Each structure stands twice: as C-alpha cells, then as structure tokens.
Amino acid sequence: MAALDPFEMQMQWMKRARWMSLSIGLLMACDPPEEREATSPSSAAAGTERARPITPPGTRPSPTPREPAVAPLATALSIEVTGLRDRGDVVEIELALDRRVRPTDANRPTLRIGAEVVRSSRHPDGALDRLVFLVPRAQFDRMPDGAAISVRALGMSSESMAQPPVLDKSKVVAP
C-alpha cells in the first residue's frame, strides 16, 4: 500500500469529518424536540414552571389552537352569463366579469358547474373582462340544468356572490 502525502491525508480526513457532521445534523433534525426542565434560580423559585420545548433548527413549530392557520381569502368577483353556443363537440360558455383578468399560463381560470370543473378558456377578441370556457359536449351533458356557476381566477372568486348565475341549457344557441 502506497503512503499518502500529508495533504491527501488531510483532505480525506476533512471529507470524512464533513460527511460525519452532516449525518449527525440530519439525525438530530429528525429527532423530536426534547422538553427540559428549567434550572434557572428564578424558575426554581416559581415552582413547577417548565422551559419551552427545543425546536430543531430550520423547522417551525406547528400553530397552537389559539392561532389557527387560515388560508387567504379570494377577492370577490361578479360574473354574468352572456352566451351559450353549441359548436358541435364543444359548448362555449361566455361570461362577463366585473373586472379584467389578465391571461396567464401558471394560473388558468376555472369554471365550476355542479361537480364539473373546466379549465379550458380564452378571452374573446382580446377582451380581458370576458371569458369563454370551452366545454366538451359529454361534460356539458353531465352538468345539471339549474346548477350554480362559479369562476376562480388569479386569487379572485365568484363563489361569494349572493345570487350566482345558474346554467340554463334551454338558452344554448346553435351557430
């Protein structure tokens, strides 16, 4: 076996030491936090007070019942059905919105009618305050007549409308 020069020996030792410290850090992060009793004189005089549990670095304690985790609410959006067009294999549902919704690929507008969800949409003639949802014929046939219509788009939602529009299949117009 060939002898290693001092530099290479030091490099191997450093690699092993780095691996060992990372392994120990990973194992410590996986352990549940320990509860330790406070030993300071002020807490000993107080009696049965206990110290806060230790939280591993890089983790966040779960919220207590007094501070519930609440999801951000969507901004209210008003919609109105302006057209139902039969295009053969696809039914177009055109909606007018009370504000402009810019087109994005990351967060597509979502139409919900009953249990059916549609994400395929476009802005007719570039009008950002209008949406046309392209619903496959089979999916449109599964949608219940008279079901409430709601739209979610870019943090906005029409689900809070007092009287949301409803689907009226009798108003579908053929081209």
DSSP string, 17-48: HHHHHHHHHHHHHHSPPP-----SHHHHHHSS
| Residues 117-130: tens digit of each pLDDT | 999 999 998 899 99
- The Cα 175–Cα 173 span in angstroms is 7
CATH 1.10.3470 given to domain 76-171: no
| Residues 55-71: tens digit of each pLDDT | 666 666 555 555 444 44
